[in-house]
Amino acid sequence: MSRRKIAVVITARPSYSRVKTVLQAIKEHPSLELQLIVAASALLDRYGSAINYMEKDGFEVAARVFNVLEGENLTAAAKTTGIGILELSTVFDNLKPDVVVTVADRFETMATAISASYMNIPLAHIQGGEVTGNIDEKVRHAITKLADYHFVASESAAKRVIQLGEDPASVFNTGCPSIDIAQQVKNRKGLAFDPYEKYGGVGSKPALDNGYLVVMQHPVTTEYQDSRKHIEATLRAVQQLNLPTLWFWPNVDAGADGTSSGIRSYRERYEMENVHFFKNMEGDDFLNLLDQSLCLIGNSSVGIRECSFMGIPVVNIGSRQNRRDRGSNVLDVDYDENEIAQAVQRTIASGNRTPSSVYGGGDAGKKIADLLTDLPLKFHKTITY
């Protein structure tokens, strides 16, 4: 019997980290054939060339889709999605997958969802049903309405997808595949690598032995104008805390300019003696780094997801993760220098590192591969009410 062909489209570095164990489980499954399609910023140097990591991890790339239109403005984001549809529909025509899998809620993933659903290819969506309160949310729930299968990360996400009119028989709470890796990393003792040596980066190189902070803050698309003001509050808070800090550059997004140029400009004006900047890091190294850190600062979903599972203190800034499930490790604050600094000091002082299983138990990849093997193929659905 021929194996089912499962096309997974990865458009960005963090999406790869998130579903790496799914890719692994599909690749190893005797009844499945993985068709890995790498697109958008996942192909580009400037955004960390996720494709290099995929190939190093032993995945074969079935198709590359260059669709990022330069401009870093909202019109370019729309056009990038349009080009993505033009290109992905050709790729699907060539690869003839039995199922297409799309991940999460980045704007350009809509191209995957539209191409597959318009071509009558069953569409599976990983990580639907969550809330955040930005443009991602429009995208995420619209993809839910285009998708035929839903592999969600938490109980509340499952409920939300069902309430969106999806057939409960098509909704599966598999847990989040990012937790699978967190589980592996959590068992390590200490920092397994020297981040400065392995990942380069710029800025000073503070000693990490007595604890350090990690910062990762992305622009929030619909608040384009404010990106720069937001990042400056964080920059001043970190300056005020004056602890060894490892800072990660943001992903591409309309608005990246505001955040990135805010950082660049601040660095030119002020000495940041305790801060080192990285462009990117392999997923498990990053989790190991977080696991050994005092606290994560920013608005990355890693904070509420992997960090909750691993019990790492998080100071979560602004609206980006609003209303997402989280463990007791997360302190929510506004874009305010003092609020940020005080929350960091408070959480470090408390010493609380209690883990949570709200995002699953570390076996999401395997669960999803098994479902993809057995699910009846369909691309026709109707709202349940």
Of 257 and 285, nearer to its own copies (C-beta) is: 257
Among 55, 196, 236, 379, binds its own copies (CB under 8 A): 379
Burial class (CB in 10 A: 0-12, 13-18, 19+), 14: buried
Contact pattern from residue 220 through residue 249 relative to its own copies, giving x for each residue in contact according to CB under 8 A and a dash for the rest = --x-x-------------------------
Contact pattern from residue 149 through residue 178 relative to its own copies, giving x for each residue in contact according to CB under 8 A and a dash for the rest = -----------x--xxx-------------
Query: Given the rule CB under 8 A, which of 50-58, 76-84, 172-180, 206-214 is the region that contacts its own copies?
Result: 76-84
Query: Given the rule CB under 8 A, which of 51-59, 82-90, 187-195, 275-283 is the region that contacts its own copies?
Result: 82-90
Asked if residue 359 lies in contact with residue 305, where contact means CB atoms within 8 angstroms, the answer is yes
Asked if residue 40 lies in contact with residue 84, where contact means CB atoms within 8 angstroms, the answer is yes
CA pseudo-torsion sign 371, 49, 118, 78: positive
Contacts for 311 with CB less than 8 Å, ≥ 6 apart: 327, 329, 353, 354, 355, 356
Task: Report the C-alpha gap between 172 and 367 in whole angstroms.
Answer: 9
Q: Does 203 bind its own copies (CB under 8 A)?
A: no
Contact pattern from residue 297 through residue 326 relative to its own copies, giving x for each residue in contact according to CB under 8 A and a dash for the rest = -------------------------xx---
Among 3, 60, 75, 229, binds its own copies (CB under 8 A): 75
Tell me the HSE value of 122 on the side-chain side, using a 13 A CA sphere: 17
Q: Could you say which DSSP state residue 320 is in? A: T
Among 24, 115, 293, 347, binds its own copies (CB under 8 A): 115
Sort strands 149-152 and 171-173 into parallel, antiparallel or unpaired: parallel
Nearest Cα neighbor of 125 from 8, 208, 260, 230 is: 8
Nearest Cα neighbor of 151 from 173, 130, 129 is: 173
Of 22 and 116, nearer to its own copies (C-beta) is: 116
Among 137, 339, 363, 370, binds its own copies (CB under 8 A): 137
Residue 206 identity (one-letter amino acid): P
Q: How far is the CB of 299 from its own copies (least distance, A)?
A: 16
Of 196 and 355, nearer to its own copies (C-beta) is: 196
Contact pattern from residue 261 through residue 300 relative to its own copies, giving x for each residue in contact according to CB under 8 A and a dash for the rest = ----------------------------------------
Q: How far is the CB of 38 from its own copies (least distance, A)?
A: 12
Q: How far is the CB of 357 from its own copies (least distance, A)?
A: 23
Q: Could you say which DSSP state residue 3 is in? A: P
Task: Report the C-alpha gap between 24 and 363 in whole angstroms.
Answer: 12
Residue 77 identity (one-letter amino acid): A
Nearest Cα neighbor of 144 from 178, 85, 104 is: 104
Q: How far is the CB of 82 from its own copies (least distance, A)?
A: 3
Q: Among residue numbers 19 through 48, which ones bind its own copies (CB under 8 A)?
A: 43-46
In the chain, the N- to C-terminal Cα span, in Å, equals 38
Task: Report the C-alpha gap between 87 and 296 in whole angstroms.
Answer: 38
Number of chain positions touching its own copies (CB under 8 A): 66
Q: What is the C-alpha radius of gyration for the chain, rounded to an integer number of angstroms?
A: 20
Q: Among residue numbers 343 through 372, which ones bind its own copies (CB under 8 A)?
A: none
Among 21, 24, 134, 174, binds its own copies (CB under 8 A): 134
Would you tell me which residues interact with its own copies (CB under 8 A)? 43-46, 66-71, 73-79, 81-87, 89-90, 92-94, 107, 110-111, 114-115, 117-120, 131-135, 137-138, 141-146, 160, 163-165, 222, 224, 257, 322-323, 379-383, 385
